[in-house]
């Protein structure tokens, strides 16, 4: 990130002088374990080396001024620390505002506001958690200035609470957790029920981690997302008449199959089958990775996509086309949709020596199938949210 440019813009907007501090929070890509987090299951995301940066200066009064280099048309957004509420016209600034509200709810006294400049490197609307990165970034900033003693897991929970209550999207914990707790060259195996987690070295020697953007606008995502959550709850309630379980993640596919008749609705059964099988696949995939068996990991990515397509029905023509185009390429050992679905991105493991050919051929095939142009980014697993103090961090 070009901080000279950001600091120059900061001074133009807010005046020069004073002590500016710099912060960063990454986006995430989920490698496997999709739509399992709110079912108490396992996820396996990593933080990206793409994310949101902020330059921040404390004020002496209770006003806040926020500006994003990504949304210059919105200008400077202003609000007071008193009586903070969701305002549609404040657009993206509702995310940091919601986080400040969560700090107040937890008894942290906010004595003065901030001038903030944000700049993001995550392609917007691509399903790589730019909103979670803004939430976690705001939480890291608020912690740095208030001296609140929240650890990284608590900051993730604060970001999720802001999204759930202030923004109104009933997301699970995965995105904020990955942004807050990421570790360079590692993925995170997280049990979303207990929040017990471990870092797994993500070394893909000879293979590149490639994200491909369908460039299909994600529509109706929130309502469909909330509907899937409800279907899973409905399935869980049916199974609980028979089985002493608290979450779907406590089941394995064999037990689910043996109790199939407890769920009369065929669609609900398929949603549950995805949640249960995906949770098992995630653990199997991590075991394969730990044995350096990347091909087995890639095969489980393929099965994950099939289950999201056929049982969970969150893929759609664009994601299916981009993934099936990738599967055709000999250099690709794994490809699946990533994130909530209904558009957004796919994640691929591609032999490094075939990367150029993969991008051209998969891109062409995708355009032939959909008329859209895909974008490809080679990424790596990065560190979680932090204050930037070292020139190396830039």
User: Which residues are annotated as catalytic?
Assistant: 175
7 class by beta-carbon count within 10 Å (0-12 exposed, 13-18 middle, 19+ buried): middle
Two tokens, residue 64: 């806040």
Residues 1-30 that bind ligand GLA (CB under 6 A): 30
Helices 152-161 & 130-146 angle (0-180, nearest 10)? 120
- The residue range among 66-74, 168-176, 296-304, 370-378 that interacts with ligand GLA, by the rule CB under 6 A, is 168-176
* CA gap 363, 369 in Å, rounded: 10
* CA-angle at 174, arms to 91 and 120, nearest 5°: 40
CB of 346 to ligand GLA, least distance (A): 14
Regarding 340 and contact with ligand GLA (CB under 6 A), the answer is yes
Contact with ligand GLA (CB under 6 A) among 14, 24, 38, 44: 38
CB of 169 to ligand GLA, least distance (A): 7
CA distances (Å), origin 303, targets 32, 300, 309: 10, 5, 10
Task: Please report, in angstroms and rounded to a whole number, the separation of the first and last CA atoms in the chain.
Answer: 6
Site string for ligand GLA, 169-208 (x = CB under 6 A): --xx-xx---------------------------------
Contact with ligand GLA (CB under 6 A) among 34, 115, 135, 365: 34
* CA-angle at 339, arms to 334 and 341, nearest 5°: 95
Site string for ligand GLA, 242-281 (x = CB under 6 A): ----------------------------------------
Alpha helices in the chain (DSSP H): 3-14, 94-105, 130-146, 152-161, 174-181, 221-240, 253-258, 266-290, 294-310, 317-328, 355-370
User: How many chain residues bind ligand GLA (CB under 6 A)?
Assistant: 11
Nearer to ligand GLA, 95 or 114 (CB): 95
Helix, strand or coil for residue 143?
helix
Between strands 63-68 and 114-120, the pairing is parallel
CB of 4 to ligand GLA, least distance (A): 34
CB of 166 to ligand GLA, least distance (A): 15
Nearer to ligand GLA, 64 or 131 (CB): 131
- The residue range among 13-21, 35-43, 237-245, 263-271 that interacts with ligand GLA, by the rule CB under 6 A, is 35-43
Site string for ligand GLA, 295-334 (x = CB under 6 A): ----------------------------------------
Contact with ligand GLA (CB under 6 A) among 339, 343, 382, 384: 339
> 3-state DSSP: the chain helix, strand, coil percent, rounded to 5?
45, 20, 30
- The residue range among 16-24, 34-42, 117-125, 151-159 that interacts with ligand GLA, by the rule CB under 6 A, is 34-42
Nearer to ligand GLA, 168 or 206 (CB): 168
Among candidate residues 9, 3, 113, 5, the one with its CA nearest the CA of residue 57: 113
Among candidate residues 335, 313, 381, 357, the one with its CA nearest the CA of residue 214: 335
Give me the residues that bind ligand GLA (CB under 6 A), please: 30, 34-35, 37-38, 171-172, 174-175, 339-340
């Amino acid at each position: 990130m070009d901080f000279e440019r950001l600091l120059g813009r900061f001074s133009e907007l807010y005046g020069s002088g004073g002590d500016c501090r710099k912060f960063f929070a990454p986006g995430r890509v989920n490698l496997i374990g999709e739509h399992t987090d709110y079912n108490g299951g396992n996820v396996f995301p990593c933080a990206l080396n793409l994310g949101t940066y902020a330059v921040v200066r404390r004020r002496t009064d209770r006003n806040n001024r926020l500006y994003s280099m990504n949304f210059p048309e919105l200008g400077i957004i202003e609000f007071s620390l008193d009586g903070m509420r969701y305002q549609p016209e404040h657009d993206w600034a509702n995310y940091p505002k919601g986080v400040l509200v969560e700090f107040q709810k937890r008894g942290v006294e906010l004595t003065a506001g901030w001038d903030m400049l944000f700049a993001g490197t995550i392609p917007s609307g691509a399903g790589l958690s730019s909103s979670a990165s803004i939430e976690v970034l705001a939480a890291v900033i608020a912690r740095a200035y208030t001296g609140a003693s929240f650890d990284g897991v608590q900051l993730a929970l604060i970001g999720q609470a802001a999204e759930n209550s202030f923004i109104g999207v009933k997301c699970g914990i995965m995105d904020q957790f990955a942004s807050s707790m990421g570790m360079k060259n590692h993925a995170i195996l997280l049990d979303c029920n207990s929040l017990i987690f471990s870092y797994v070295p993500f070394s893909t020697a000879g293979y590149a981690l490639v994200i491909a953007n369908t460039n299909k606008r994600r529509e109706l995502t929130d309502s469909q997302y909330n509907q899937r959550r409800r279907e899973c709850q409905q399935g869980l309630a049916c199974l609980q008449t028979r089985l002493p379980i608290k979450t779907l993640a406590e089941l394995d596919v064999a037990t689910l199959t043996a109790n199939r008749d407890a769920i009369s609705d065929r669609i609900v059964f398929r949603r549950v089958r995805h949640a249960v099988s995906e949770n098992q696949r995630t653990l199997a995939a991590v075991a394969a990775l730990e044995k350096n068996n990347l091909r087995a990991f890639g095969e489980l990515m393929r099965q994950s996509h099939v289950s999201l397509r056929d049982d969970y029905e969150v893929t759609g023509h664009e994601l299916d086309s981009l993934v099936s185009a990738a599967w055709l390429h000999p250099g690709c050992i794994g490809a699946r949709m990533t994130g909530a679905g209904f558009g957004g991105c796919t994640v691929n493991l591609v032999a490094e020596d075939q990367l150029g050919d993969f991008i051209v051929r998969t891109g062409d095939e995708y355009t032939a199938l959909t008329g859209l142009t895909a974008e490809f980014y080679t990424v790596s697993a990065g560190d979680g949210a932090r204050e930037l103090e070292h020139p190396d961090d830039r």
